[in-house]
């Protein structure tokens, strides 16, 4: 994966848990790279290795680490580094979600050799939408939940994100229901 992803995991750990924990995670994952270069591609195994080591060093589950990373990616890494790109994709959260299927096409103009995920929307309503996520990379659905949650926070729109289909339980792909407004009022 792109160096920016690994660098973002480093920032997440360093800011929230300290530099010592990051060094412990890198050592446990057997990673000798001193600093990740944003525009360089690294083997996916390195990213999975970092996540696995983070669960052990921080005492968190895989989904907790992936969800935290997804939120951090949107609210910290993408928002600080690519805020204009991010916000130009929609004036509101529903607009952004509608645009998400096209979003990485624009990201690909900045990042060479991108192997982006694919998103599709269905069942659009004024207060909910279904998001379909496709990727050849396994096990990353909790990242998507975290990213969708980050997008909701970015737009200051209270939302509920529920995964409704699971690829790792045999479904064709992962599916998420995103609800806001009247659909979450009790
Ligand atoms: C400015 C904002 C964003 C930028 C610059 C960006 C960029 C990237 C980059 C560089 C990768 C690595 C792909 C690779 O190395 O081949 C990636 C992966 C990914 N992105 Fe984005 N992204 C952004 C926003 C989002 C948002 C808002 C979502 C979903 C809500 C999202 C979902 C994902 C997922 C799930 C992956 C993991 C790869 C996979 O599933 O195969 N991204 N993105």
The rounded distance, in Å, linking the Cα atoms of 132 and 163 is 10
- Going 72 to 45 to 85 to 100, the CA torsion angle's sign is negative
Q: What are the tokens at 80?
A: 């600080």
CA 148 to ligand 1: nearest atom: 30
What is the CATH number assigned to the segment(s) 83-184? 3.90.1520.10
The reply to whether ligand 1 has any atom less than 6 angstroms from the CB of 17 is no
- Per-residue b or e along 9-24, where b marks 16 or more CB atoms closer than 10 Å to that residue's CB: bbbbbeeebeeeebeb
For the chain, the structural domain boundaries read 3-60, 83-184
Angstrom distance (rounded) from CA 159 to CA 8: 24
- With a CB cutoff of 8 Å and minimum separation 6, the contacts of 110 are 82, 85
Distance (Å) from CA 186 to ligand 1 centroid:
33
Residue to mutate, 71, 147, 149, 155, ligand 1, most ligand atoms under 8 Å from C-beta: 147
The pLDDT score that the predictor gives to residue 39 is 83
The SS3 assignment for 118 reads strand
pTM over 0.85: yes
Q: Is 66 in the pocket of ligand 1 (CB under 6 A)?
A: no
* Whole-number average pLDDT of the chain: 96
State what percent of residues in the chain have pLDDT above 70: 99
> Which atom of ligand 1 is found nearest the CA of 85?
1
pLDDT in tens, 114-171: 999 999 999 999 999 999 999 999 999 999 999 999 999 999 999 999 999 999 999 9
Taking the CA atoms of residue 25, residue 20, residue 56 and residue 114 in that order, the dihedral angle to the nearest 10 degrees is -40
The closest alpha carbon to 14, from 47, 57, 70, belongs to: 57
pLDDT band at 13 (very low <50, low <70, confident <90, very high): very high
Cβ-Cβ contacts under 8 Å for 137 (sequence gap 6 or more): 44, 117
């Amino acid at each position: 994966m792109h160096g920016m992803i690994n660098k973002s995991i480093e920032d997440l750990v360093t800011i929230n848990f300290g530099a010592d924990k990051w060094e412990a995670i890198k050592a446990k994952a057997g990673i000798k790279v001193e600093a990740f270069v944003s525009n360089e591609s690294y083997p996916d195994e390195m990213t999975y290795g970092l996540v696995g080591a983070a669960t052990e060093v921080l005492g968190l589950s895989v989904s907790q680490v992936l969800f935290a990373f997804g939120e951090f990616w949107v609210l910290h890494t993408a928002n600080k580094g690519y805020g204009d790109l991010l916000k130009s994709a929609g004036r509101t959260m529903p607009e952004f979600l509608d645009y998400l299927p096209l979003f990485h096409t624009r990201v690909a103009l900045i990042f060479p050799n991108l192997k982006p995920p694919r998103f599709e929307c269905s069942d659009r309503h004024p207060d909910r939408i279904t998001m379909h996520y496709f990727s050849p990379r396994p096990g990353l659905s909790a990242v998507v939940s975290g990213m969708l949650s980050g997008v909701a926070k970015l737009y200051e729109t209270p939302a509920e994100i529920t995964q409704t289909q699971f690829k790792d339980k045999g479904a064709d792909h992962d599916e998420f229901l995103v609800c806001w407004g009247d659909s979450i009022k009790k």
